[in-house]
Amino acid sequence: MNPVVEKVAEWREQDRQAALATVVKVERSGPLGPGTSMAVSEDGQVVGSVSGGCVEPAVFEEAMGTIETGEPKLLTYGISDDEAFGVGLTCGGIIHIFVEKVDW
């Protein structure tokens, strides 16, 4: 059993759209390893996480966008004091997260 896959399958059975966000790469220090995932339903429900809570709000917004457009995205989040990133990780790591609409 995997709570994220279970929940996504349940949403799809109820004909609700969903997006899946998966950590695909972690550089330097990161809280959760590759494969950690979070999913979002079209009505704004969330299951799972992709960091220690630092980037989830941003990933949520991206996931909602992907549900609408269907366009997958590879996101990168880094150190939070770097102005180049709107949100980031306080731990000093960089994580790469792939966001995709569940159409498979």
Partner 1 sequence: MVMGELLARWRAALREQSPVAVATVVEGPQGVVGGKVLVTPEEHVGTLDNRDLDKAVVETARGLLEGGRTETVHFGPRGQRRMEDVAVFIQSFAPPPRMYVFGAIDFASAVARTGKFMGYRVTVCDARPVFATRERFPTADEVVVAWPDEFLKTAEVDRRSVICVLTHDPKFDVPVLKEALKTEAGYIGAMGSRRTHDDRTARLREEGVTEEELSRVASPIGLDIGARTPEETAIAIAAEVIALRTGHSGGRLADRSGPIHAPEAGVREGA
Binding residues (CB under 8 A) for partner 1: these are 1-2, 5-6, 8-9, 12-15, 22, 24-31, 33-36, 72, 74, 91-93, 98, 100-104
CB of 56 to partner 1, least distance (A): 18
Task: Classify burial at 48, counting beta carbons within 10 Å of its beta carbon; exposed 0-12, middle 13-18, buried 19 or more.
Answer: buried
CB of 65 to partner 1, least distance (A): 14
CB of 38 to partner 1, least distance (A): 14
Taking every pair of Cα atoms in the chain, the longest distance, rounded to a whole number of angstroms, is 42
Nearest in space to 80 (alpha carbons), one of 88, 72, 92:
88
Residue nearer to partner 1 on the CB measure, 13 or 83: 13
Residue nearer to partner 1 on the CB measure, 25 or 83: 25
Residue nearer to partner 1 on the CB measure, 1 or 84: 1
Cβ-proximal residues to 101 (8 Å cutoff; 6+ apart), any chain: 17, 18, 19, 66, 67, 70, 71, 72
